[in-house]
Amino acid sequence: MKTKNVIFACLLSMAASYATAQQTVPSQRATITTEGDSIIIRKGSGNMRIRVYEEQPTDGESKEVEIYEGVYLERVESDKRTFLDALPFIPQKKKDNAYEPHNSGIFIGYSRMGNDFLSFDNSAKADLNLSRSWEFGFNVISLCHNFKKNPHWGLNFGVNWGYRSFSFDGNRALLKADGQTYFAEGDEENSYSSSRLRHFFFRIPITLEWQQRLGRSNKLFFNIGPEFEIRHGVKSFTHINGGKKQRVGKDMYVNPVGVNLLAQAGYGDFGLYLRYSTTSLFQKDKGPEMSPYSFGIAWYW
């Protein structure tokens, strides 16, 4: 019995505290008088109440009689997003002035090797066959943040997966031995042809985007930012003495994690991209110093 009394007293105390808190919320009141009629507007927490009074003669006296009362609830507009909005292939409702991130889509392009970061000269250590060195990927997850409902600027986040291949010209192959990855030149006993290095990747781009609608048509856009790359499934292949393709190494002391600089520009649902690795493809002192980069086209949705 005592326990019930204590619980009941606690409930009464909580109710009294809530009522006191509600009463302490200040309200704003404004009164407008026009030719004998009065309009009272009272703004409290969460809603606005409007009352209209009219002067009417009653028993020889003029009294104010309420002829209208309305309550306008406060509304906060917000876009409710679910995890489905982050997945590709899910149709999104577009608004004319809404921010449209150019993050989801598929891309394909050529792969190259530079001597160091932002060097667009061909690497002296690897003569690539450009027509057979390429990459392909598609977006898995896409998110974005629009700055204060500004339709021109936004921050994009994503995850994509894909495949990349480097094809080497000449009588050489990329081998792995004694803790080193190196290019082996062919000789009279062993000749190499159509050698290549390939790997799969997960990439996490974080880009700052600017976009501008041109008339009533599509938007012109540009974005740039870092991109984290996780490499896996690294293998080296070659043809020895004209025979069938053989795997001559795996892992190859490739850096499992890299950081790229990604830049994209386009119009509407199509664009061009350039990504450049800020670090060497191979681990320090375990392979040739080469920085991969790629460029190509992308289709966004």
Give the largest Cα separation in the chain, rounded: 126
Computed over every residue of the chain, the mean pLDDT equals 82
Q: What is the DSSP letter of 149?
A: G
- Asked if 146 and 295 sit in the same domain, the reply is yes
How many Cα atoms within 13 Å fall on the side-chain side of residue 186? Answer: 18
- Asked if 163 and 118 sit in the same domain, the reply is yes
- Kindly report whether the global pTM for this prediction surpasses the value 0.95: no
- Asked if 130 and 58 sit in the same domain, the reply is no
* pLDDT for the residue 33: 65
* pLDDT for the residue 15: 56
Domain that holds residue 155: 83-300
* pLDDT for the residue 76: 45
Neighbours of 44 (CB within 10 A): 15
pLDDT beneath 50, residues of the chain:
6, 21-22, 25, 75-79, 83-84, 86, 89
User: pLDDT tens, 196-226?
Assistant: 999 999 999 999 999 998 877 789 999 999 9
User: Of 15, 50, 76, which residue constitutes the final position of a domain?
Assistant: 76
Give CA separation, 152 vs 131, 145, 215, 233, 271, in Å. 37, 12, 14, 39, 17
Our count of domains for the chain comes to 2
Which of these, 242, 248, 253, lies nearest to 171 by C-alpha position?
242
Question: Which residues, in sequence order, are CB contacts of 283 under 8 Å at separation 6+?
Answer: 253, 254, 255
Distance CA 63, CA 226 (A): 72
Q: What is the DSSP letter of 75?
A: -
* pLDDT for the residue 77: 43
User: Of 43, 60, 76, which residue constitutes the final position of a domain?
Assistant: 76
* pLDDT for the residue 273: 97
2 belongs to a structural domain: no
Neighbours of 185 (CB within 10 A): 12
- Amino acid identity of residue 265, one-letter, is A
- Asked if 235 and 253 sit in the same domain, the reply is yes
153 belongs to a structural domain: yes
13 belongs to a structural domain: no
16 belongs to a structural domain: no
Q: What is the DSSP letter of 244?
A: S
The answer to whether 226 and 204 have CB atoms below 8 angstroms apart is: no
- Asked if 65 and 88 sit in the same domain, the reply is no
- Asked if 286 and 201 sit in the same domain, the reply is yes
DSSP per residue, 151-174? TTEEEEEEEEEEEEEEEE-SSEEE
User: Of 76, 101, 118, which residue constitutes the final position of a domain?
Assistant: 76
Rounded to the nearest angstrom, the gap between the alpha carbon of residue 25 and the centroid of all alpha carbons in its chain is: 41
User: Where are the alpha helices (H) located in the chain, listed in sequence order?
Assistant: 2-24
